[in-house]
C-alpha cells in the first residue's frame, strides 16, 4: 500500500508543480487552489509512504515520478520543446525509479 501511495503522491507532485506555473505567482485563484490541494495531498501521501519505506528511496521515487510527469506534460502541451535527448534522459530517470523499487 505504501508504494501505491507513493506513486499517487508522485503524480500529485506533477499536478502541483504544473498548477504552480499556471497560477502565475498565485495571481490566478483556481490554479492556486489546485496547487494547494495537490501539495497537501502529495505531502500526506509521501508521509504515509515513509511509514514503511526508507526516506532516501521514497523521496527519490517521489521526485522522479513528479519530475518526469511534469516535463512530459510540458512537452505535450507545447510549453517545453521535446527532443530525443530529453526523452532519453527521462527514460533514465524512469529506469532509476524502477531500479529503486526492485532494489527495495
> In this predicted model, what pLDDT tens digit does every residue of 25-43 receive, in sequence order?
999 999 999 999 999 999 9
The structure's pTM equals 0.91
From residue 7, give the alpha-carbon distance in Å to each of 12, 40, 69, 70, 91.
9, 15, 11, 14, 17
Question: Grid cell 527514460 — which residue?
Answer: 91
Instruction: Name the band, by pLDDT with cuts 50, 70 and 90, for residue 100.
Output: confident
- Does residue 63 have a pLDDT over 90? yes
What residue numbers bound the domain in which 78 lies? Answer: 2-103
74 in Cβ contact with 90 (< 8 Å): no
Q: What is the number of domains present in the chain?
A: 1
Average pLDDT along the chain: 96
C-alpha closest to that of 62 among 82, 42, 84, 40: 42
Query: Which helix (DSSP H) or strand (DSSP E) does residue 31 occupy?
Result: helix 29-49
- What letter would DSSP give residue 79? S
Amino acid at each position: 500500500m505504501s508504494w501505491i501511495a507513493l506513486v499517487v503522491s508522485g503524480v500529485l507532485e506533477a499536478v502541483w508543480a504544473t498548477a504552480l506555473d499556471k497560477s502565475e505567482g498565485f495571481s490566478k485563484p483556481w490554479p492556486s487552489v489546485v496547487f494547494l490541494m495537490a501539495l497537501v495531498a502529495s505531502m500526506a501521501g509521501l508521509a504515509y509512504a515513509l511509514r514503511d519505506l526508507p526516506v532516501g528511496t521514497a523521496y527519490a521515487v517521489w521526485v522522479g515520478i513528479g519530475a518526469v510527469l511534469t516535463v512530459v506534460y510540458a512537452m505535450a502541451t507545447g510549453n517545453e520543446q521535446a527532443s530525443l535527448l530529453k526523452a532519453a534522459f527521462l527514460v533514465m530517470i524512469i529506469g532509476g525509479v524502477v531500479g529503486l523499487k526492485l532494489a527495495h
